[in-house]
Amino acid sequence: MRDDVDCAMTIEWESAVRDVGRLAALERSTLAEIDHEDPFDRLLELAITVTGAPRGVITYVNAERTTAVSSFGFPEGLDLHAPIAYSFCRFVVATRQPFIVEDAHHDPRTIGDPAIDAFAAVSWIGYAIEDDDGFILGTFCLMDAEPRQWSPTDILAVATLASAATSELALRKVRAEVALLRRDAGMTVDPAP
């Protein structure tokens, strides 16, 4: 019976992660083009400061993997690309809800999950980064190698800063559209402030 449950859960997240509409939205977004840019790094650093979590990452989630666009607290040079099966981000995409784990070794949703060892993700909190149409493009998440109870303040901080990251992404999209319109109209494109 347990294998049937595992299989159903796998199909459920795989279907959501590989949704054609979501992947098209990710392609249209600029999230995959971000590489440790200041606004996203500052939001993540603030989340780390407020919560005291040792590590955090902002990701985008494509059909096969999660990729960090901003990270904090990881060893220099660590490859922060992970197969979907090695990332709790898949649960945020699949459920369209925040995913909060206090002890992944004992949480029935994560017991034995490869993400625990791959990223020392014993406790994890993640919120969605969405586009204007509500497609989940990635996650804003914090983690710890030790079990921890995420406080109401921690949860509020991560939710708020994930929303700010979503807004920053929308602003980037508008700036890109304005620059394209200006270019097509033969106007000089001013750099973004």
In this prediction the pTM is 0.84
Per-residue confidence at 9, pLDDT binned at 50, 70, 90? very low
Burial of 170 (0-12, 13-18, 19+ CB in 10 A): middle
pLDDT at residue 77 in the model? 73
The reported pLDDT for the residue numbered 4 is: 35
Mean pLDDT score, 58-72: 90
Q: What pLDDT is stored for residue 34 in this prediction?
A: 75
The DSSP H or E segment spanning 153 is helix 152-184
Q: What pLDDT is stored for residue 191 in this prediction?
A: 56
SS (H, E, C) 38-57: HHHHHHHHHHHHHHCCCEEE
Mean pLDDT, residues 152-165 taken together: 96
Element (H, E) at 59: strand 55-61
Residue keyed to tokens 């919120």: 127
| Domain 2-184, CATH | 3.30.450.40
pLDDT attached to residue 15: 79
Among 19-28, 72-81, 111-120, the minimum mean pLDDT is found in 72-81
Q: Mean pLDDT for the chain?
A: 85
Q: Please report the pLDDT score of residue 187 as a whole number.
A: 66
Going by their DSSP bridges, the two strands 55-61 and 136-144 should be labelled as antiparallel
> 193 pLDDT band (50/70/90 cuts)?
low
